[in-house]
Every structure is written in C-alpha cells, then in structure tokens.
Structure 1
C-alpha cells in the first residue's frame, strides 16, 4: 500500500505541492494525472525519499521510504529513465543493483527477458540506448528486487505503440497478482485502459480522486455553439470553468443544466450540449484541470 498524507512542498515563496493526500491499494493501478508543473513529479519524489517535504508525510507498506532497510525489495521506482550510468552495459547496471539489494544474479537474465531486452542489448552500453531501451532498462531495475509496489513516472516515453501495449499488459498483470502501481503519464488513453483508480492534481492540489468508472461518469459538460467566441465569453461571465477541446467545443466543469441556462440567458444557439462522461479520460482531465497552468514550474 502507498499512503500520502497531507504532503506539502514549498520552495521559498513558491508552493509546488499543497496538502496532497491519497492512497493506493494492493491489487490496483492508480493513474496520477495533471498538467506539466502541477506537482506530480515532486509528489513522487517526496514519496520515494528524494525530496524532503515541507510538511506531511508518505509511507510505503506502512513505513517512510527512508526507513525501509532494503527499499528495492519493497518498492520499484522509475522516475527518470536517463538517470543511468552511460558507460555501463545494461547487464552491468542490473548486476550492480542486484549486488546492492542482495538479489540472486539469476534474476538478471529473467528480468531482462521480461522487459524485452535481448542478450545483444544487455551487452550494449547504456549511452548507446534509445530512450525506449532506457525505459525498458529502468523498468527492469524497478522489477529486479521483486517488489510489491511500483512507482513509475512517464514510463512509456519513447516506446512505440507495440511497446506501450506491452507495458500496459505488464502493469495490469503486476496489479492482478496483488501488486500496487502508482503510474504518472501524459498518455491518457493508456492510463484509461489500465488504471483502476485516478488521482488528478492541478496547481499542486488534488482536484479529484476515486474509482475510474465513478469519475468518468461525472466528467462535466461538453458544449458547442454557432458562435464559439460568444460562448467563451458567456461561460466566463457565468463563472463556469471551461477548457477548449481539440474539436471546437468546450468542456465545462458544471452540469448541463447550468451550462444550458447560461447560454439561453445570453441568447446563444447551441449545436451540442451533453454530459462529457462519454468523452472518456481526456474530457475528464480537461474539465478538472481547467484554468490550471500548463507551464513547467521554473525554480
């Protein structure tokens, strides 16, 4: 189990994460979502003992990461696939990790095979790896200690469609065997396909969390009008948070009745007005993070 309890992180006057709390249960994949700069990576770094929180705390299987005597045997972490020694071969990277964790060296070949790195790739230096190969090696490092928990930040970056499909199956199988997965990714369709629960963060705060089906059932309202500019102004005047989507409409964080009434009061002709739940995770994400900055935080 992962438990994040009122985590806050400030860098001087800038608050990167504010009062974030959630739980990830065994047997589940939890999708951790938010715009760039929302605080996802900072939260995961605090969970994994890499960044000290200003306040609050986080535990893995009931203990802070720093208190785990051999953390790699409990929690597998992949936060940055590029953070590997470029001069070592893939097999050497895993051999060093195995020695550090006290893992039987026989697991090295099995883990390389599990993540799809063959003998030729294992003998190649990491500096010559593609990003997708580094992701696979990073996942091998996370799995090497046979942990009960996985914490993964953008693990599908650099993978081709076949690789993304493979990773989805691997994570689903890990959870189905009783493991706990916390997965941060911008690939919303893949998160929707594999996750059981969702935690959505915006501006450093949790804006929604719960079961995937429960959240997708209440994803706001999709609206379109003959005059999109007038609709935008109307929604702003009515204080209805809205985000333009990719096909000319708006996703509004309100129920259809409120949106329709605002449009009627303004004399607008609507061409579409419906609950956005059928739009899937993309609509939910846009609805919940409407108004959040999409800029990377610079510190």
Structure 2
C-alpha cells in the first residue's frame, strides 16, 4: 500500500506540490493524472525518497522508502527510462541490478522475456535502444525483485499501439494478483482502460480523486447555448453553480434535468446538454484542470 499524507514541496515561494493526500491499495491500479507542471513527477520522487518534502509524509507499506532495507524487493520504480547506462547491454543492466538486490541471476533472462526483449535485444547496448525498448528495460528492472508495488511515471512513452496494449495487460494482471500500481500517464484513454481509481492533480493540488466510474458519473452536466451570458445568468438565478469548460460551454454541478429547466424558464436556447462523464476521462481531465491556477502552472 502507498500512503501520501499532506505532502508539500516548496521551492522558495512556489509550491510545486501543495498538501497532496491519497492512498493506493493492493489489487488496484491508480491513475495519477495532471498536465505538465502539475506536480506529478515531484510527488512520485518524494514517495521514492529522491526528493525531500517540505512537509507531509509518504510511506510504502507503512515505512518511508528510504528506510526500506532492500527497496527493490518491495517496490518497483520506473521514473525515467533514459536514466540507464548507455554502454551496458540490456542483460548486463539487469544482471547488475540482480546482484545489488540479491536476486537469483536466473531471473534475468525470464524478466527480459516477460517485457518483450528477446535474446538479440538483450545483447545490444542500451545506447542503441529506442525509447520504447528503454521503457521495456526500465519496466524489467522494476519487476526484477518480484515487488508487490509498482510506481511508474509515463511508462508508455515511446511504445507503439501494440506495446501500449501489452503494458495495459501486464499492469492489469499485476494488480489482479494483489499488486499495487501507481501509474502516471498522458495517454488518458489507456489510463481509463486500466485504472480502478484516479487522482487528478492541477497546480500542485489534488482537484479530484476516487473510483474511476464514480468520478465519471459525478462529473456534472455540460451545457452550451447560443447566448452564453444569458445561460450563465439563468443558471445563477436558479442557484446552480457553473464553471467554464474547455469547449466553450459551462460545467454545472447539477443533473441535466435541472440545468435544462433553468434554461427553459429563462427562454435560453441550448445547443448542447449532456452529462459531463459521457465524454470519458479525457473530458473529465480537461474540465478539472482548466482553472487559472493550472494554466499558470503549465506556462
């Protein structure tokens, strides 16, 4: 289990991560989502002990990462696939990791095969690998110690569609066998396909978290009108809170029936009226991260 409690990281006056809290339970894949600069990678680095928090805490099975005696046997980490020695072969990279973790060297060929790196690829130097091959090698390194927890930052970068489909199956199988996965990715449709829970971060703060289906179902109502100003006034008169959505409409935290009735009572002609969740995770993500603080974070 991964537990993050009130985690904060400041660089001078700027809060890269601001009071972030969430948990990742065994048997689940948690999708960790947010635009560039939102604080995802910083949060993951703090969980893994690579960056010290300003305040708050992060634990793995109740213990801070830095206090784990042999962390590779408890938690597999892939934060940067390019951070590998270019002069070593794939097999040498894993063999060295096996010695460091005290893993049976016989696991190396099987682990390489598990991630789709055949004998020929294992003999090539990492400097000659494509990004997709480096991602596979990084995932092999994460899996080598047979951990029960995986923390993966953008692991599908550089993978072709077949590779993305393969990774989805691997992570789903890992979780279904009782493992815990924290997955950061910009490929929202793939996250939607594999994640059980979602944590959405924007401007360093968690803007939404919960079960995937729960969040999609409770996303509110999207509405557009020929006269946006009249629509906003009608909703305000009905006591309905509305925020601008990314497609020029309004996101209203109310059922579609109430929104439609408010517009009808005010004589406002609508162009679109639908549950926000019907647009899937992509629409939910864009809506949740469209506020001013997030736009500032990604400039």
Aligned-residue offset at 1:235: 4.7
Query: Is 2:181 aligned against 1:186?
Result: no
Cα distance per residue 1:75-95 (max 9 Å; x no partner)? 000011111111111111111
2:98 touches 2:145 (CA, 8 Å); kept in 1?
A: yes
1:42 touches 1:51 (CA, 8 Å); kept in 2?
A: yes
In structure 2, the partner of 1:91 is 91
Aligned-residue offset at 1:216: 1.0
In structure 2, the partner of 1:231 is 228
Aligned-residue offset at 1:244: 2.1
Is the alpha carbon distance of 1:222 and 1:9 closer, same or farther for their aligned partners in structure 2, counting shifts above 3 Å? Answer: same
Query: Is 2:290 aligned against 1:293?
Result: no
Give runs of aligned pairs for residues 150-189 of structure 1, distance below 5 A: 150-189=150-189
In structure 1, the partner of 2:244 is 242
Cα distance per residue 1:50-99 (max 9 Å; x no partner)? 00000000000110000000000000000111111111111111111111
2:44 touches 2:151 (CA, 8 Å); kept in 1?
A: yes
Is the alpha carbon distance of 1:131 and 1:254 closer, same or farther for their aligned partners in structure 2, counting shifts above 3 Å? Answer: same
Cα distance per residue 1:192-229 (max 9 Å; x no partner)? 1101111111111111111111111111222233x4xx
User: Normalising by the residue count of structure 2, what TM-score does the alignment of the two structures yield?
Assistant: 0.91
> Could you say what the CA RMSD is over the residues aligned between the two structures, in angstroms?
2.2
1:28 touches 1:175 (CA, 8 Å); kept in 2?
A: yes
CA distance in 2, matches of 1:197, 1:27: 11
Partner SS state of residue 209, structure 1: strand
Aligned-residue offset at 1:234: 5.7
Is the alpha carbon distance of 1:253 and 1:30 closer, same or farther for their aligned partners in structure 2, counting shifts above 3 Å? Answer: farther
Aligned-residue offset at 1:293: 2.7
CA distance in 2, matches of 1:119, 1:23: 39
CA distance in 2, matches of 1:253, 1:290: 14
Query: Greater shift after overlay, 269-278 or 7-16?
Result: 269-278
2:90 touches 2:125 (CA, 8 Å); kept in 1?
A: yes
Aligned-residue offset at 1:294: 4.6
Partner SS state of residue 26, structure 1: coil
Is the alpha carbon distance of 1:94 and 1:233 closer, same or farther for their aligned partners in structure 2, counting shifts above 3 Å? Answer: farther
Is the alpha carbon distance of 1:274 and 1:129 closer, same or farther for their aligned partners in structure 2, counting shifts above 3 Å? Answer: same
Query: Is 2:114 aligned against 1:125?
Result: no
Query: Greater shift after overlay, 232-241 or 127-136?
Result: 232-241
Where do 5+ consecutive residues of structure 1 fail to align? none
CA distance in 2, matches of 1:173, 1:196: 13
Cα distance per residue 1:167-207 (max 9 Å; x no partner)? 00000000011100000111111111101111111111111
Give runs of aligned pairs for residues 8-157 of structure 1, distance below 5 A: 8-157=8-157
In structure 2, the partner of 1:273 is 273
Aligned-residue offset at 1:250: 3.2
1:39 touches 1:204 (CA, 8 Å); kept in 2?
A: yes
2:222 touches 2:252 (CA, 8 Å); kept in 1?
A: no
2:30 touches 2:195 (CA, 8 Å); kept in 1?
A: yes
Where do 5+ consecutive residues of structure 2 fail to align? none
Cα distance per residue 1:257-276 (max 9 Å; x no partner)? 67557756886421211211
